[in-house]
Every structure is written in C-alpha cells, then in structure tokens.
Structure 1
C-alpha cells in the first residue's frame, strides 16, 4: 500500500512538472509538487464535470457520452495547465515573472470563465427552468401577434366579422342586413303616411257620422248639406288611405324582395368566406405550432444564459450569488498558475538550485562533448595527412633506389673487366605497398576509438570541471 501511495505521489509530482532525477536529490520539494499535482487534478475534474453539463444542456446527448466528452475536455485542461506551470521556471526578477505570468494568468482566466459558466447554470437550474417557461410563453405570444399582423393574415378579423354578419343575415332571412336601411326607411315613411291618412280618414268619418246624427256641427240630423260635404271629404280621404296603403304594400314588397336577395347573397358568400377562413386559420395554426415546437425545444445554453441574466436583473441577491459562484470556479481554475507565480517570488529552494545546476552541467557536458568531437576530427585529419605524406615519401625513396640501382648496374657493366669480384649484395627489405601507411594509421585509429568511448559516456557518470 505504501509503495502504491509512493507511485501515485510520484505521478502527481511529475504531473506538476517535477523532474524525477532532481526530485530524488531534493526530496523535500516532493510535497510541494504533489500538492500542485492535486490542484491540477482538481481543476481537471471540475472542467470535466462542467463540460459534461454543457454538452448535455446544449446537445441533449446521453449522459454517459456527455461524461466521456467531459473527461476528454478535463484532460485537455490539465494538459494546458501543466504547460503553463512547466513554462514558468523559477526567476527572482519581478519584471520577468510578471511578463511570463500575465499571458498565462489571462489564458487561465479564460479557461476559468469557460469552466465556470456551465456549473453556474447547473446550480441555478430550477430558477432558470421556471424563467424559461415564462420566456417561451412571451415568445409564443409575440410570434402570434406578429403572425396576425402579417399581410397574409391581416384581413382575418375582417373576414371573421363578415362571416358573422352573413350568418346573422342568413339566420334572419335578410332582416339583419344593415345595407337595406334605405328600403326600410321607405317602408317606415310609407307607414307613417298611411297612419296619418287613416287618422284623418277616421276623423272625417266621425265628423260625417255626427252630422248625420245631429250631434255636432249644425246639430240637425239627416242628410243635409253639411252631411253631404262631410261625407264627400271622408270619401276623398278614404281614397287617399287606399293610395297610401297600396304604396305601403309596394314598399313592403320591395323590402321583402331586397331582404330575400340579401339573404341569398349572404348564403352564397358565406361558403366562400368560411373556406377562406378555414384555410387561413389552418395556416396560422401550422406556423404557430411549428414555432411552439421550436420554442419549447430551445432550452440550450444561450437561452439559459439569457434567463439567468433576466433573473439577475430582477433579483439582486441572485445576481450577487451568481457572481460569487462564478468567481469561485474561476479562482479554482486560475489557482495552479497563481501558486506557481507566488512560488517564483519566494527564494529559490534546494530543488530550484539543483535543477539549475543540472541544467548548467548538461550544457557544459554537451559543450565538452562537442569540443571532444571537434578535437577527434582534427586529430583524424592530421593523422591522415601524416600518413599520406609518409606514403609519398616512401614512393619517392623507392623511385630513387631503383634509379641508383640502375646507375650502379650500368657502372658495373662498364668497369667489369677491371674490378674484382664484388661481395654479395645485401638483401634489401621488401618495400611496403603504396597504400600501407604503417603503424601511424594504427595509432590514429586507437586514439580515435579512445576519444569516442570517452564522449559516449552518460552525462550523469561525468563530473563537470
């Protein structure tokens, strides 16, 4: 168990950017790097949960798939935070630390905002859902109003009113038609004339009767002159009444005919208006239904953010809670970079010093290796030049020896009778081949091999001078 905890701690330290070779020489820094690794994992876990909520809210995907996407995003955030930490080496200069920290803190702040937004939406999801219902109802009403004001449906209220009037005209047999007011006024006028004529006729009839009875007028009963005159006036007025009655009957007949025509026209136009009303109403309902379906399914991140802003405008307490919660999530995301920045402002630790020494030693060892390779190359070239010179000198000596031998042979043939037998010539050492450079090449090869073996040693086995 202890071994497993040690391996986990080492892995978290390496995740925070610790170098295993330096950490082995400075174990006191292990706790600091393990803590930084834990902070990185915390930010990665927070980012994974945030991405899972965001994918589920925006796309409505299955939760296991959303969790997989969230884990991938968490790994990306951990990698980015690790890159920000590793790139901030310890430096005692305030100016250089600020120059390195400003872009890194800015990037971490952007990541924090991205991570904090879905989490904040999830925390206030109940209030947001209630506000979304209100917003969807308002959007549906606004869309209905815009459709009613559309030129395609602008005459729909007029059409409905015309259908209602036609239905009332048909139901009343044309009596409810307001367009027949003139005809009805003519009937009313004729009726008034008839009523007046009838009233006058009744008065004249009464006067003639009372003249006949002697109860009025002259007071003499019988068919006298007064009676004859009263009777003539009553008969003349009866003719006027008959004429007024006939005119009234004609006006009533004309009004009835007009009402019949109005009812038939209303009945004929009623079917057309009803068909047009049915078509426009169906089209209006179709457009409204399509919008309602889209409106009810538009509960994405954008609508939720708008709902949260509206809630913040209405409720100051909720706005303050939203701000503090977002700030908390952003601080958690920025925390690794801030911790690394604060550690850079502190005095260099043993780990920092050893890391700097290792880096300097590696540079010096590499410089020595480069110098050694350069020296070996120069030595090889010099040995090759010496070997070539030796080969050329041997060729020259061989040529001169052959020439001297030829001259000696010619001189011996010329003075042969005068000289005594010569001593046996010494056997010359057989000459080497032109390409044989002798022991010099072998010495050069051995020296090169020794130099190469020295250069190939591992940097940690060598001690810098």
Structure 2
C-alpha cells in the first residue's frame, strides 16, 4: 500500500513538472510538486464534469458519451495547465516573471470562464428550466403575432368578414346585403308615395261622402254640383293610388330580384372564400405547429445562458450567487499558474539550485561532446587529405619512371646503326579477314589516348 502511494505521489510530481533525477537528489520538494499535481488533477476533473454537462445540455448526448467527451476535454485542460506551469522556470527577476505570467494567467482565466459556465448552469438548472418555459411561451406568442402581420395572412380578417357577410346574405335570401340600399330606398319611396296617395284618396272620399250627406261643404244633401266635383276628385285620386301601387309593386319586384341575385352571388363566392380561408388557416396552423415543436426542444446552451441572464437581472441574490460560483471555479482553474508564479517570487529552493546545476552541467557536457566530435571529424578530414596526396604522388612518380624509360629506349635506338631488315613475307589471307585492320585501329587508338593523357611539358620531343 505504501509502495502504491509512493508511485501515485511520483506520478503527481511528474505531472506537475518535476524531474525525477533532481527530485531524488532533493526529496524535500516532493510534497510541493505532489500538491501541484493534485491541483492539476482537480482542474482536469472540473473540466471533465463541465464538458459533460455542456455536451449533454447542448446536444442531448447520452451520459456515457458525454462523459467520454468530458474526459477528452479534461485531458486537454490538464495538458494546457501543465504546459503553462512547466514553461515558468524559477527566475528572480520580477519583470520577467510578470511578462511570462500575464499571458499564462490570461489563458487560464479564459479556460476558467469556459469551465465555470456549464457548471453554473447545472447548479441553477431548476430555475433555468422554469424561465425557459416562460421564454418559450413568449416566443410562441411573438411568432403567432408575426404570422398575423405576415403578408401571406394579412387579408385573413377581411376574408373572414366577407365570409360572414356572405353567410348572412345567403341565410336571409339577400335581404342582409347592404349593397341593395338604393333598391330598398326606391321601395321605401314608392311605399311612402302610395301611403300619401291613399291618405289623399281617403280625404277626398270623405269629402265626397259628406257632400252627399250634406254634413259638410255646402251643407246641401244630395248629388249636387259640389258632390259631383268631390266625387270626380276622389275618382281621380284613385287612379293616382293605382299608379302608386303599381310603382310600389315594380320596386318590390326589383328589390326581390336584386336580393335573389345577391344571394346567388354570395352563395357562389362563399365556397371559394371558405376554401381559401381553410387553406390559409391550415398553412398558418402548420407554421405555428412547426415553430411550437422547435420551440419546445429549444433548451440548448445558448437559451439556458439567456435564461440565467434574465434571472440575474430580476433577482439580485441569484446574480450574486452566480458571480461567486463563477469566481470560485475560475479561481480553481487559475490556481496552478498562480501558485507557480508565487513560488517563482520566493527564494530558490534546493530543487531549483540542483536543476540549474544539472542543466548547466548538461550544457557543458554537450559542448565538450560537440568539441570532441568536431576535433575527430577534423582529424579524419586531414588524414583523408594526406592519403589522397600520397596517392597522387605515387601516380606522378610512376608516370615519370615510365617516361624516363621511354626516353632511354629512344636514345638507345638512335645510337644503333640502321640495318636493313628483310621484308617479311605476308601469308595470303582471305578477303573477309579484317584482323590486321582491327590491330592497326587498336594501336592508333592507344597512341591517341596516351598523347592526350601526357602533359604538355612531359611530352618527348620528336626532333633532335
């Protein structure tokens, strides 16, 4: 068990950037690096959980796959944090430490914000879900209002009103048609004229009757001149009544015909209007249903962030809690880099001194090795040059020896007297025998090559 703890501690120390060889010589620094390694693992664990929540909320991924994605992100974060820590070696210069620390702390802060956001969303999940329901209802109402203002459905109220009017006209047989006001006015005028004519006729009849009775007018009963004139006026008024009644009948017939035509036209247009209303209403319902289906599933990361922001605007306590939680998670993320920066400001420890000595010793050893390799390579090159020079000298000596022998042979031939030699008898050969020709060509080629290879100053003079 103790051996296992030791291996775990060594692994944490190496994770924090410790060198095992230096750590073995300075075991007092082991606890510091083990603690830093534990902090790195804690940041990686937070990153794992955060990414798992983010993937599950944004994409609806099954939890095991979300955890696998979180594991990959956790490894990336641990590697980044380790890179930030290892790159900050101990330095006593405050300026250099600040220059190295600012970008690293900034990067760690960005990572902290990324990691803290999904965790904060998960902590306030219930409040966010309630707010999302409200936001979805608001979005549905807004979309419904936008459909009402849409140019495709802008004439729906007019169409519904026209259908209602047509239905009333058909149900009343055309009486409800407001467009027949002129025809109905003629009927009313004709009825008023008839009523006036009947009233006048009744007065004239009463006057003629009272003249006949003698109860009015002249006071003389009987069919006198006054009665005859009154009767004639009453009879003339009867003709006016008949004419007015005829005009009224004509106006009524015209109104009835107009109402029938109006009812027929309304019935014919009613079917078309109803079909158009059904089509537009169905299209509007379809668009609304599609939006509602999408809106119900719109619970992704962006909408949850918006819901959390709205909750924070309305509730100061929630906003403060959200800020403190985000600050906590960001602090955990930047803690490794911050601790490394603080350690750099402290005096160098035994581990730091040994690490610098090891590094300087490695540099010296490498420089010596490089110098040795350079010296050996230079010596090898010199040996090769000397060997090549010796080979060239041998070749020159051999050529000079052959040249001196050739000169001596030429000189010996010139000192001997010329003796005529008997001409050899050449044996007869066939026409196809090209042996002598080939031999002559070979000798000529050999002499040509030797003359080309011979230096100009070493050539044998041909004349004395």
TM score, norm. by length of structure 2: 0.80
> How far 1:155 moved relative to its partner?
1.5
Query: Does 2:73 correspond to 1:70?
Result: no
Measured after TM superposition, the shift of residue 383 of structure 1 is: 8.2
Separation in 1 of the partners of 2:391 and 2:166? 130
Indicate the residue corresponding to 2:180 in structure 1.
180
Where 1:184 maps in the other structure, the secondary structure is helix
Equivalent position of 1:349 in the other structure: 349
Alignment of 1:155-304 (within 5 A): 155-304=155-304
Structure 2 distance, partners of 1:180, 1:151, is 32
Structure 2: distance between partners of 1:381 and 1:212: 170
Cα 1:28–1:220 shift into 2, 3 Å: same
Map Cα deviations across residues 360-390 of structure 1 (whole Å, 9 max, x no partner).
1222222333344445556677888999999
Matched residue SS, 2:154: coil
1:152 counterpart SS class: helix
C-alpha distance 197-28 of structure 1, shift in aligned 2 (>3 A): same
Deviation at 1:130, TM superposition (A): 2.1
Q: Deviations over 1:44-97 (max 9, x none)?
A: 000001101111111111111001100110011001101111111111100110
1:139 is displaced (CA, Å) by 2.2
- CA shift, 1:297, in A, is 1.9
Question: What secondary structure is seen at the aligned counterpart in 1 of 2:167?
Answer: helix
Q: Which residue is equivalent to 2:81?
A: 81
Aligned to 1:136: 136
- In 1, Cα distance between the equivalents of 2:359 and 2:189? 121
Where structure 2 has 5 or more consecutive residues not aligned to the other structure, the ranges are 393-464
Q: Deviations over 1:217-258 (max 9, x none)?
A: 233332222222222222211211111111111100100000
CA distance in 2 between partners of 1:181 and 1:333 (Å): 84
> How much does 1:136 deviate?
2.1
Equivalent residue, structure 2, for 1:94: 94
2:50 matched residue in structure 1: 50
Counterpart in 2 of 1:104? 104
Output the CA distance in 2 between the equivalents of 1:210 and 1:81: 128
Give the paired residue count: 394
Gap change, CA 1:380 and 1:280, over 3 Å in 2: closer
**Cα distance in structure 1, aligned partners of 2:273 and 2:213:** 68
Aligned to 1:340: 340
1:201-229: per-residue Cα shift (whole Å, max 9, x none)? Answer: 11222222222222222333322222222
From the superposition, tell whether residues 384 and 290 of structure 1 become closer, same or farther in structure 2 (CA, over 3 Å).
closer
- Once the two structures are TM-superposed, the CA of residue 135 in structure 1 deviates from its matched residue by 2.2
Match of 1:444 in 2: none
Q: Distance in 1 between matches of 2:100 and 2:168?
A: 85
Higher mean C-alpha displacement, 26-35 vs 383-392: 383-392
Q: Residue 407 of structure 2 corresponds to which residue in structure 1?
A: none
SS in 1 for 2:153: coil
Alignment pair present for 1:323 and 2:323 = yes
Backbone CA RMSD of aligned residues: 2.4
Task: Give CA deviations for 1:344-373 in whole Å, capped at 9, x if unaligned.
Answer: 001111111111111112222223333444
Gaps of 5+ in 1: 393-465
2: CA distance between counterparts of 1:361 and 1:260?
116
**Secondary structure of 2:312's match?**
helix
CA 1:232 to 1:324, structure 2 compared with 1: closer, same or farther past 3 Å?
same
